[in-house]
Structure 1
Amino acid sequence: MHQKKAPTLRLRLAAPRGGIFCLEAARRQKMTRRTCLGLALTATLCAALPLPALAQDKFPTKPITLIVPFPAGGSTDRHLRAIAEDASKHLGQNVIVENRPGAGGTLGPANMAKSAKPDGYTVSLFPLGMLRMPYMMKTDWDPIKDFTYIVGLSGYTFGFTVRSDSPFKTFNDYIDAARAKPNTIDYGSTGVGSSPHLLMEEIAINAKVKLNHVPFKGNADLQQALLGGHIMAQSDATGWDQFVDSGKMRLLVTFGEKRTKRWPEVPTAEELGYGVVSSSPYGLAGPKGMDPKVVQILHDAFKQALFSPRSMEVMQQLNQEPAYRNSKDYQEWAQATYAKDKQLIEHLGLMAK
């Protein structure tokens, strides 16, 4: 008797992404029922497994939003747009800058921490004010626990400017006027609790004068107010550079450890005896709970963008230097600074009651 030929057996099994597995039993050898059931079970289990690892490997698959918590046109916005443009090339997806000014640069990052998913598609500039604001008022966010630190980028050169037709020819002229007429001499900054505000408060204490502080949402609004004659002076980062170079503003003092290369004739506050030095480092952070693999991808892309020719060119224009920190170092710096700056806020008498 002739042995019957084993029938061809086909198993059509649902697979991820709608694919079909077609398994054909060997045409020339037998396949038992148990073997067929085993193959079917294995394929079914594979189809049911989630694919997070695959998704992470492909991050990003859509544009990334980068929140800049200051208005467009200021020094921070200029630098972050240059970085975003270059980071887009490394990530293979657009990095879209979204300006969300307010609360001295803390509104945008705080809202991100409370509402954005920790998937890496929404990140924010993290200004130094984030580590000070919780001491000055009640907040519903924690600057350490509610954020994932991605990368440290740079720091500011702060300066104090007046209009070119101002009667204040030097910074000492401005302080002398405040001493002669307490509470009548004003200045603007980028918001309550911002570094430009706090360094002037520290100077006022050291110089024993009373100044009127006028807060603004960001650099662009502040500069227009000064140019329009609505305030006497401004304390800010180097978004004023173009106005100083064009002769519309006069730079009276800077707040770094040494004089700037770009304006070497302008003294520092430390040099004048006011005892204040500030650079206010900044970087990028995301919501808490981000996947370390995603953090690493973002870190690598933005680190390369920081040292790109375009970023270096903008920093040179703003008289800034790279202040790179990796994710771990950036978080440790934030923790140490948060603890240390409590003393500064207490010294200035700005602690929330």
Structure 2
Amino acid sequence: MTTSTLDGQQLQAQLQELQATALKAIAEIETLDTLEQQRIHYLGKKGELSKILGTMGKLPAGDRPTIGTLANTLKETLQTALEQQRHKLQAAQIQAQLEAETLDVTMPGYFRPQGHIHPLNSTMDRILDIFVGLGYTVDDGPEMETDYYNFEALNTPADHPARDMQDTFYLPDGNLLRTHTSSVQIRHMELNDPPIRIVAPGRCYRRDNEDATHAAVFHQIEILAIDQGLTFTDLKGTVKAFLAELFGDVPIRFRASYFPFTEPSAEVDVQWKGRWLEVLGCGMVDPQVLKNVGYDPDLYTGFAAGFGVERFAMVLHQIDDIRRFYTSDLRFLNQF
């Protein structure tokens, strides 16, 4: 008769030794990562407890239930110890974070003066709000343009005298800095079918001599409406509604003018502080411009208008020199 190489007492002693060693090791763990490593070491599929239980096959049949019960009790004891240590470490981690991020509410705060919206930005926002309220959608485009979008598509070929009024900054690759946001209208019409109602704000550039009313860099807003049956009456009504919202009930007059991309065209003045001020140019979109973007001028008509944001801001805020907008003088900006 063969004898077993292991008896219940020996295995029980191993389980008791494992419990003492594991509980001591768990109590000394200082990080959650180490705690997880120890859990795997003792309770994993290839852990210390599994190794001991793997020898149960060598026990006499009568000892196996007792050892099995002891093993389950040991497993529960170690799991409880691991969970308690986990809660302890997590609490310590949170406490350390709280101490590191403690805010002393008795300390004086740092003073950071609040900024102001620049008068040009506030004027532009106010104007855009008016046109959005009239059903227009805001669109924009690149400040660096091609000659086609800035001039050719707007009925201003290379030999057109109107280019002299919009001399600009040309780049080595043949592109240029746009002289108006009218180029946005062309880009929008190429990608969209009528009806169209857009308002296009943005920065523009012209090679101009700077003085109290002129700058080489300025901001412009243009509107465009394309639909069937639009007339100059619709243009006048839109312009009057816009100016009334911006300036109030002031006299308005339209003067015949010329732009290469509108026909007929007009300049618009408002009577402000006892004198007439020119505030914008407008007109019906030239049929050739409609053809350039693939629209049928026999089916669609449209109107456009454009104006400088700086001029409106100067009138609304009674500013005497356009250059004040660009000098970043806090004595000037703090007024707004």
TM-score of the alignment, normalized to the shorter chain, above 0.5 = no
Q: Which has the higher helix share?
A: 2
Give TM-score scaled by structure 1 length. 0.21
Computing the radius of gyration from Cα coordinates, the structure with the larger value is 2
Give TM-score scaled by structure 2 length. 0.22
